[in-house]
Amino acid sequence: MAWASFRTAISCAAHAGRRGEIAYLPLGGDPYDARGLRFGTLETAIGSAGIVERYIALGGAPGSTVRDVFDRLAVEETARVTIDEVGRILTTAILAVHSILDSEIIIMGGSIGARPELKVRIDEHLGRCMREPVRIEVSALGNRATLIGAIGSAIDLVHRSLFGIGKDAGPLALPFTAADVAA
């Protein structure tokens, strides 16, 4: 299983509980562009600022927010092209992560990653570049995924420190989908 939260942090967790920062994958932009040094090339391209920048560059209304772009999907071609391109970039990142981790499922979270409109585009793109597309689900944690993931990591660290649990032990489990929360 891998999870991803898209807003200001993009991470993944593999079967063994190892976590990695994928925001710095050289996808969606120029990895030598100084703007990517702070948040990463991928995050710079598909985070809130990157989406708005792309939307305005395509002719969208200046001063728009990410929410505005998503709200205009049904009525504006510029919004559709913007979010389709974000979906394509995310699909490339998912393909890269899946190629290395061989994940069975990717859990999307965060204020952008949890958007069903984005998931639809990712599913469409995956169908065009993978023989057997990896399953994509939206986290039950929604736009709180980044915050709850950070809290979960902190609790895990405290738990390990207090009880002397070795670094090779798996992490404490957090729910990833609505079914996990309901169980």
Please report which confidence band the pLDDT of residue 74 belongs to, taking 50, 70 and 90 as the band edges: very high
Residues 85-101 pLDDT 10s:
999 999 999 999 888 88
**Global confidence as pTM:** 0.76
The domain limits of the chain are 2-182
Residues 33-43 pLDDT 10s:
998 888 889 99
Fold of the domain spanning 2-182:
Nucleotidyltransferase; domain 5 (3.30.420)
Angle, in degrees to the nearest 10, between helices 116-129 and 77-101:
60
Q: How far apart are CA 103 and CA 94, in angstroms?
A: 10
Q: How far apart are CA 106 and CA 5, in angstroms?
A: 10
